[in-house]
Structure 1
Amino acid sequence: MLNQRIKLRHLNAFLEVARRRSFARAAESLSITQPGISKAIRELEENVGAVLFERGVQGVSLTQAGLTLLRHAGPAVRALEEGVEALADAHGGQRWLRVGALSTVESHLLPAAIQHWHGSPQGQDVSIQVVTGTSAFLLSRLALGELDVVVGRMTEAREIRDLAFEHLYYQSLRLVVRAGHPLAGQPLDTADPLVDYPWALPPQRTTLRQQVDSFCVRHAISVPHPCVETLSLPISRRLTLDTDTIWIAPFEAVAEALDDGSLVELGLAFEQRGGSVGLCLNTTMQPTTALHGFCEVLRRVADQGIG
């Protein structure tokens, strides 16, 4: 039985601090004082008999006990919110699936899956809300119960622990440039010529950036400056087509441009097999029939071959 001294305000305070990684930002978000939110967390820790947060120079982080509570508290509070929302919107009958999308699936897998979904009888009355961002951001929201599923390449992310990942296919990063780029069609025995041009690459502290850093270490080079760090596919594509920028891109994002010749892959392999693209679920949340159906659509589209 739930400890009757634990109130919804305690859980809301806990979830907001976990989300914001800061007592001050959490207090501002909830429109209460910082002493007020500190008191709520202290009371919750006393009630559960465990320390939930550790304070550091970079803010606060969850302890192992905090991570355990987060796995259950987030989905539980979200389920309560959805119940209230369902009562309020019962007359409309509208239902939603909340999907987190990493840049590795924005160009083909997810758009194709949504198209198939809305073309199926089951998808006629279930809308899709797509949230984009880094793997850390999306997986944290999944752990909080604010997303139903996250799709993309994310297996290296620390936040994936305690979540259930299902592999769909492997996808590699590619080095691509515009047709007519000075390096296009040139044999490359080393990576040294790459540093003479600007790069468009994933931001630091992302799953994809870890692969970029590993590539640089293997070839004894450093990321050139200036460069552009972004997860935006349109920005990276435009820069690559209009300038001498080298784009380190997921294959799915550049496949069509490589086929039509507007982009050219450099003659130096970035990854051999690539990373695992898949879907991630929070097993503490009761999956709906709609979620089961949408995940099956993702599997069918992935089986058609994207690589």
Structure 2
Amino acid sequence: MLNARIKLRHLMAFLEVAKRRSFARAAEALAITQPGISKAIRELEEILQTPLFERTSQGVSLTQAGLTLLRHAGPAMRALDEGVSAIGDAHHGGRWLRIGALSTVESRLLPVAIQRWHSASAAGQHDTSVSVVTGASAYLLSRLRLGELDMVVGRMTEAREIGDLYFEHLYYEPLVIVARSGHPLAQVTPVAASQLIAYPWALPPPQTTLRQQVDSFCVRHAITLPPLLLETLSLPVSYRYTLESDALWIAPREAVIEELESGLLKELALPFEAQGGSVGICTNVSMTKSLTRDAFCETLRQVAAERIIPRS
């Protein structure tokens, strides 16, 4: 039985600090004073008789006890929120499936799966809408751990933040180096790695799993990053920048396959990865089992199995 001394305000304060890694930002998000949120955390730590946070140069981080509480409190609060929302759904209709999407699945896998999901809804098989949140793996996985997302889809096996979350492999997706069709390196075979640094690069930002692969590529080929960089996870920004300049784009193959097939972009004759990274579905096993979530995961499996996504 839940300790009667633990109040909802304690858990809300704990989850907000855990999410934002800052007492000040958590207080702002909850519209209370910083002393108020500090008091709530202190009371919770006294009740549990253990520290939940420790201060670092970047803010605060969870202790092992804090991580344990987060693993259970996040999904529990999400379940409570769903219960309250379900009352409103009974009056207004509609439910939501919340999905975190990495750039590796934004172009084909996820849109096709959602289209199929909506077709099933039109056929009367369910009444669940889809909300998609994009971003870096660390951000999305933290929201999944808090119970704010039902799943995260994409390439993330290299992410340290997976921890005790469950990852299901769907297929391998490589990063490729592409340029506009008229680029000086577009017809060069083979391309030497040293030739790449004469041009700007569009690449994933630091602290992302895809950027780790870029850094590994540079180490393998004994090159450094060029002086001009565009760091972004935005596929439209990267595409337009690459199409209208001499920039080189390090992108998931899925994100550029249609442009490669149409001839607008050209893959350089220098393999970036042999097999690529594992793309799949990450879920939080501590969350209440959901038939809706399981059904959408099956839709993702079917789309992947049909090889709508070209494989290396």
Question: Could you tell me how far apart the structure 2 residues matched to 1:106 and 1:155 are?
Answer: 17
Question: Could you tell me how far apart the structure 2 residues matched to 1:94 and 1:172 are?
Answer: 37
Displacement after TM superposition at 1:162 (Å) = 1.3
Partner residue in 1 for 2:172: 170
Partner residue in 2 for 1:42: 42
Q: Residues 48-63 of structure 1 correspond to what in structure 2 (within 5 A)?
A: 48-63=48-63
User: Contact (CA 8 Å) 1:190, 1:219: kept in 2 or not?
Assistant: no
Displacement after TM superposition at 1:39 (Å) = 1.2
Deviations 1:111-148 (A, max 9, x none): 00001111114655110001101101111000111000
Partner residue in 2 for 1:11: 11
User: Contact (CA 8 Å) 2:89, 2:95: kept in 1 or not?
Assistant: no
Question: Which stretch shifts more, 203-212 or 33-42?
Answer: 33-42
Q: Which runs of 4+ in 1 moved over 3 A?
A: 121-124
Question: Could you tell me how far apart the structure 2 residues matched to 1:267 and 1:299 are?
Answer: 32
Q: TM-score, normalised by structure 1?
A: 0.97
Q: Residues 97-108 of structure 1 correspond to what in structure 2 (within 5 A)?
A: 97-108=97-108
Displacement after TM superposition at 1:44 (Å) = 0.9
User: Contact (CA 8 Å) 2:79, 2:288: kept in 1 or not?
Assistant: no
User: Contact (CA 8 Å) 1:122, 1:293: kept in 2 or not?
Assistant: no
Partner residue in 2 for 1:77: 77
Which ranges of structure 1 fall in alignment gaps of 5 or more residues? none
3-state DSSP of counterpart to 2:153? strand
User: Contact (CA 8 Å) 1:177, 1:265: kept in 2 or not?
Assistant: yes
Question: Could you tell me how far apart the structure 2 residues matched to 1:189 and 1:255 are?
Answer: 20
Displacement after TM superposition at 1:175 (Å) = 0.3
Deviations 1:206-246 (A, max 9, x none): 01000000001111111112110000001111111111010
Displacement after TM superposition at 1:187 (Å) = 2.2
Partner residue in 1 for 2:157: 155
Question: Could you tell me how far apart the structure 2 residues matched to 1:294 and 1:157 are?
Answer: 23
User: Contact (CA 8 Å) 1:122, 1:290: kept in 2 or not?
Assistant: no
Displacement after TM superposition at 1:88 (Å) = 2.5
**Residue of 197, 200, 219 corresponding to 2:199:** 197
What is the one-letter code of the residue matched to 1:67? L
3-state DSSP of counterpart to 2:90? coil
Which ranges of structure 2 fall in alignment gaps of 5 or more residues? none
3-state DSSP of counterpart to 1:119? helix
Deviations 1:85-105 (A, max 9, x none): 211231122111001100000
Partner residue in 1 for 2:247: 245
Q: TM-score, normalised by structure 2?
A: 0.96
3-state DSSP of counterpart to 2:223? coil
Partner residue in 1 for 2:220: 218
User: Contact (CA 8 Å) 1:13, 1:26: kept in 2 or not?
Assistant: yes
User: Contact (CA 8 Å) 1:23, 1:34: kept in 2 or not?
Assistant: yes
| Structure 1 pair 14–297 and aligned structure 2 pair: CA distance change class (3 A) | same
Question: Which stretch shifts more, 38-47 or 227-236?
Answer: 38-47
3-state DSSP of counterpart to 2:16? helix
Question: Could you tell me how far apart the structure 1 residues matched to 2:147 and 2:139 are?
Answer: 13
1:276 aligns with 2:278: yes
Give me the CA root mean square deviation.
1.1
3-state DSSP of counterpart to 1:127? strand
3-state DSSP of counterpart to 2:179? strand
Q: Residues 118-133 of structure 1 correspond to what in structure 2 (within 5 A)?
A: 118-120=118-120, 121=123, 124-133=126-135
Question: Could you tell me how far apart the structure 2 residues matched to 1:70 and 1:272 are?
Answer: 37
Question: Could you tell me how far apart the structure 1 residues matched to 2:124 and 2:21 are?
Answer: 38
Question: Could you tell me how far apart the structure 1 residues matched to 2:259 and 2:268 are?
Answer: 14
How many residues are paired up? 307
Question: Could you tell me how far apart the structure 1 residues matched to 2:45 and 2:160 are?
Answer: 25
